[in-house]
Structure 1
Amino acid sequence: MLAALTGAGLSAAAGLNAYIPFLMVALMARYTEIINLPAQFAWIESPYAIGGAGVLLLSEVVLDKIAIVDHINDAFGTFIRPATGGLIFAATQAAEDIEQGSSFMADNPWIGVVAGVVTAGVVHTGKAATRPLVNGATFGLGAPVVSTAEDTASVGLSLVAIFLPVLVIFALLLLMVGMFAVWRAARRRRRSRDTAMASAGYYS
């Protein structure tokens, strides 16, 4: 059960930023005993994988904070984030199961892949749907603020998933509430702005 919560939390974090949970798992697997990846996922902790993910993370952090460019970034993320979520879910599930002396998840990694893809995909969809509203309501000024909040949430969710998996369900609920609140506030602000512009005759 805890392994599933860890995988779910990391996959949700990947839905916000694919490279943050990947790097956390990779670094902890390489330099600590907290995560012990099985042989089929050992490449995740290789210097090449860590270095490549680090470069991609830097690119993501910059590009995702620029209005309009963030939409293009989200389009690429439609494939990358769910795929990363599936990979991380399967890897951490298999690692946890091996530690418990069971090979079920190691023999059936597709279960973790499917669960991770779905979880990351749902979160990514919410992120991608909210961002255009935020940009439209704030003329792009809200992009760096919301992006920073998403990165922070990805870091926090990853840490909770790894160290306090029993709190993952609470963290996921909090994430959903937060994303809905941002979407609702942006939608309300955009409606108010459109109404004001219409009243001033800009749409006549």
Structure 2
Amino acid sequence: MLVALTGIGLSAAAGLNAYIPFLLVALLARFTDLVVLPSGLEWMTSWWAIGIGTLLLLTDVVLDKVPAVDTVNDAVQTFIRPATGGIVFAATSAAEDLEGSSWVQDNPWLPILAGIVVAGVVHAGKATARPVVNVGTGGLGGPVVSTLEDGAAIGLSLVAVFLPILVLVVLALVVWGLVVLRRRRRGRRGT
């Protein structure tokens, strides 16, 4: 259960910023025993992967702060964020072996698919909302929202790894917030 929450949290963070959870998993796997990567994903701990991930993170952080450019960046990231979500979910699901379950061993594609779906849904929400924010604020809200998204990706990644049970709390708050926003929008349309 905790492993699934870790995977869901990291995948959701990847939907906001693909490189933050990737680098967290890669660095933890390289320097600690907190994350043990399954065979086939050890490449994540190479200096090449970490260096390229860092360069891509810096590029994404800058591009995502520029209105209109952020929309193009989101279009490019449509494939990268879900793929990264699948990778980090699969990478952390290896801990399932430590918990004594053979579920992941019998179905190694399911964590990848779950990560792709979770990251894809979060990315779709981000990519849909960002142009609305940019237009509604004349471009001034984009950098603020982008910074909040980066902070959320960092926080969610850390929570997913170190306190995975809190991923349930975060997800519940997000769902509650979406319900409240939807009700407010319906209320405005009705008046």
Offset, 1:175:
3.5
What TM-score results when the alignment is normalised by the length of structure 1? 0.84
Offset, 1:174:
2.5
**CA deviation string 1:161-180 (max 9, x = no partner):** 00111111111233345577
Offset, 1:99:
1.8
Kept in 2: contact 1:126–1:179 (CA 8 A): no
Q: Secondary structure at the match of 2:65?
A: coil
Residue of structure 2 in register with 1:9 after alignment: 9
| Alignment of 1:45 onto 2:45 | yes
- Gapped regions of structure 2 (runs ≥ 5): none
Offset, 1:108:
2.6
Call closer, same or farther: CA 1:91–1:107 in 2, change over 3 Å. farther
Kept in 2: contact 1:130–1:182 (CA 8 A): no
More displaced 10-residue stretch of structure 1: 28-37 or 105-114: 105-114
Alpha-carbon distance in 2 for matches of 1:54, 1:177:
33
Which structure: larger Rg? 1
Call closer, same or farther: CA 1:182–1:154 in 2, change over 3 Å. farther
Kept in 2: contact 1:63–1:70 (CA 8 A): yes
Alpha-carbon distance in 2 for matches of 1:159, 1:183:
29
Dislocated runs of 4+, deviation >3 Å: 101-104, 175-185
- Greater relative CO (CA pairs within 8 A, separation 6+): 2
User: How many residues are aligned here?
Assistant: 186
Call closer, same or farther: CA 1:103–1:17 in 2, change over 3 Å. same
Q: Secondary structure at the match of 1:90?
A: helix
Alpha-carbon distance in 1 for matches of 2:128, 2:182:
8
| Alignment of 1:85 onto 2:88 | no
Kept in 2: contact 1:14–1:82 (CA 8 A): yes
Residue of structure 2 in register with 1:135 after alignment: 134
Call closer, same or farther: CA 1:181–1:59 in 2, change over 3 Å. farther
Offset, 1:100:
2.6
| Alignment of 1:56 onto 2:56 | yes
Kept in 2: contact 1:64–1:73 (CA 8 A): yes
Offset, 1:46:
1.1
Kept in 2: contact 1:134–1:183 (CA 8 A): no
Offset, 1:33:
1.0
Kept in 2: contact 1:82–1:121 (CA 8 A): yes
Kept in 2: contact 1:6–1:92 (CA 8 A): yes
| Alignment of 1:126 onto 2:125 | yes
**CA deviation string 1:118-158 (max 9, x = no partner):** 10011011101110110001110111100000000000000
Kept in 2: contact 1:133–1:183 (CA 8 A): no
C-alpha RMSD over aligned residues:
2.1
What TM-score results when the alignment is normalised by the length of structure 2? 0.90
Offset, 1:182:
8.0
**CA deviation string 1:58-78 (max 9, x = no partner):** 000000000000000000111
